[in-house]
Structure 1
């Protein structure tokens, strides 16, 4: 397989990892699922083609049996709790937050408890007890209450911070949210992956949002998978293994 020039730095880094006997550890999180869609079908087909596990962050209040039936056909897909309703409770001028300090922590935790139970029942056998906060933001008081609800892990975006449960963050986003809202340049995403690989040996999380992907975003995912999947110097990990 001949990779385009923009992917060579990642291929070289994986070769370096293979020679050192320290495979690059990657995992994939995709946010905002609610129901079966053509975009979801594309995501599941692409990950299945390359044998890449995917953790799908599902919005509990807005989903139901249809999504559960579709994901039951996708053995590499896991399900995490994506807040409750993906509803913004922040004030004007503030960054969007559903799980912030704008409401009592007890109120927020009660919603998250309902979401945990709902998804655990709908997706038995593929449910991962991980919370993915909408907009990747959560108040410390809410974090402190997560273990009492049964959560084993928390996943936001960026460097990990100490918490009373496992933290398994994503670190590289393929979407240019502040610009085109389409795919970021492949060179920039590849550079992020290589930089993080060289900085530490922990798992690196790739973040995607299937519902907003343009053709370039799907092509970028395929490029990353082609450069990494099945390589001796790289392992795509299941989220349940990261939690367990």
Structure 2
């Protein structure tokens, strides 16, 4: 495989970890699944080819049996609850949120119960006890409700020990975040430069070496351009062939 300097630095870093006898957990979260599509098939074919487990954050209000039937033969897929309808309830002056404090807490909790119930029925074996809040934002006041519903873990974006997650620590709810986003949401809305993504992975490797945890990669199959697919293919090829990397199911991370 022909590699540029950024990719070679990634390989060198992983080789150094291997030489030091270290093994880092990676996991993949893909958001906004609702129905079968060519893009989703492409993601699942790619991850299946490299035996990379994937957690699909599914929007309960928008999905049905078509998706569950299409995933029934995909043994490397786990499903997480992605809010209820992925609808923004925040005013225009605030960042978008579905699970914020803009509605009565019992109303939001009822939505999450409905989401849990729907996906439990559609995915009795594949559903993980994980909540992925739309836009990676949630009112900390909902934590007690989450545990009563049956959630054991929460996944947003950023380091688990960062200020953004302070309110969720020491609550009994596990934090298993994503840390590296492949998409340039505020610019091209396509793939970020590969070198920038790899630098984020390198920074996260530093954090994991110092504090533990995993490297969570965040994707959105419906909006991937060819550069994203190229990046993921290279990343999977490099990491699955290096003993310093171990791609984990979200259920394994929760059980750990």
Which band: TM-score by shorter chain?
A: over 0.9
Say which SS state the counterpart of residue 83 (structure 2) adopts: coil
Residue 191 of structure 1 corresponds to which residue in structure 2? Answer: 199
TM-score, length-scaled by structure 2:
0.93
Distance (whole Å) between structure 2 residues aligned to residue 138 and residue 206 of structure 1: 20
Matches of 1:2 and 1:48 in 2, distance apart? 23
Shift of 1:199: 2.3
SS of the counterpart of 2:30?
Answer: strand
Query: How far is 1:117 from its partner?
Result: 1.2
* CA contact 1:174–1:208 (8 Å) conserved in 2: yes
CA contact (8 A) 1:3 1:227 kept: no
Q: How many angstroms apart in 1 are the aligned matches of 2:174 and 2:93?
A: 31
Q: Distance in 2 between matches of 1:237 and 1:13?
A: 20
Alignment pair present for 1:214 and 2:222: no
Matches within 5 A, 1:80-229: 80-160=80-160, 161=165, 162=169, 163-200=171-208, 201-229=212-240
Shift of 1:20: 1.5
**How far 1:2 sits from its partner (Å)?**
4.5
* Other structure's SS at 1:25 match: strand
Cα-to-partner distance string for 1:176-211 (whole Å, 9 max, x where unaligned) = 001000000000111111111122231110000000
Residue of structure 2 in register with 1:39 after alignment: 39
Considering only aligned residues, what root-mean-square deviation do their CA atoms show, in Å? 1.1
Alignment match, 2:78: 78
Shift of 1:76: 0.5
Q: Is the 8 A contact 1:158 1:171 kept in 2?
A: yes
Give the number of aligned pairs: 244
Deviations 1:114-151, CA, capped at 9 Å, x for gaps: 11111011012111010000000000111231100000
Structure 1 unaligned regions, length at least 5: none
Kept after mapping to 2: 8 A contact 1:130/1:155: yes
User: 1:16 deviation in Å?
Assistant: 1.3
SS in 2 for 1:108: helix
1:243 to 239, 242, 254: 254
TM-score, with length taken from structure 1: 0.97
Which digits, 9 at most, give the CA deviation of each residue in 1:33-53, with x for residues without a partner?
Answer: 000000000000110111100
**Secondary structure, counterpart of 1:107 in structure 2:** helix
In terms of mean alpha carbon deviation, does 6-15 or 89-98 score higher?
A: 6-15
